[in-house]
Structure 1
Amino acid sequence: MHKSPRNGPRAMMRALAVTLLLGAAAMPARAEDRFDALRNDPQIHEGLLVISIGRLVRNHCDSINARILRAWAFAQSLVDRGISLGYSRAELEDYLDSDADKARYRALAAAYLAEREATVEDAQSMCRLGRDEISSQSAVGRLLIEG
């Protein structure tokens, strides 16, 4: 009786190798996707954008500072939200350290500044933006204080 090459040990090893290779190729996509719930959560998305914009204002305008306790409480509310979505603190830190997500928030913050005619190269425009945010009591402005 002749063994079919399709059913022999060599065919099984080939199938196993293909399965392992396909699984390995899919792993980076799954690893990236583990943060989708964070990226798609409006509270976390908007909150991190608010913090990013506030940090830019504070870092580029000497007359505006952070309301430390209020900013800490706001950040803690985002951590609590992430935990409620099933993420650990370590996973939340991984998300915040992700180069792709940092770049995404930098781009969103830059667009926000551009819409308001402010740039990090122009401290006066950043101070004006900060004062506008504070006076309008926006989410960004509530985390900042002048003086």
Structure 2
Amino acid sequence: MDALSTHPFFYDRAFGVAANDRVKKTRLVIENGVWLSHNVITTPGCARIGRGAVVGAGAVVTTDIPPYAILAGAPAGIIRTRFDEATIAWIDSSCWWHLDKSDLKRLLAEQPDSAFSPATGLAAARSLGDTAPGQGIRSEPLASGMLLP
């Protein structure tokens, strides 16, 4: 506000006037399974939106968002997390985001509780001795050489 102008010519060398960039450019990482509702604004103070986060419509996100958080407001504030810590660990161990469409289709058909009610799916898996959603769904290694639990 104290400069001669707020025009980007003064701050962004891409316009060919300023010799150096004066605005810190940040890269925003949005992890898997994130839902950004309508008209969400992220400011440069937010560099990461964690896996499974849900951001309410019109929220102004000024800081990083932890995984599985539900946020809303301006500035956005955490309302709660989507799941308890055990369920989050169980979901994260599944690496479901590495499944292809055919494997996801099998997961939905064979383990619907794992997909639509992870806390219920976790309880059922514990009673069966399984470790994560997708157990036995993928029989071949992922590109990284990793198998789903």
Structure with greater strand share of residues: 2
Bigger relative contact order (CA 8 A; separation at least 6): 1
**Structure-1-length-normalised TM-score:** 0.25
**Structure-2-length-normalised TM-score:** 0.25
Structure with greater helix share of residues: 1
Structure possessing the higher radius of gyration over alpha carbons: 1
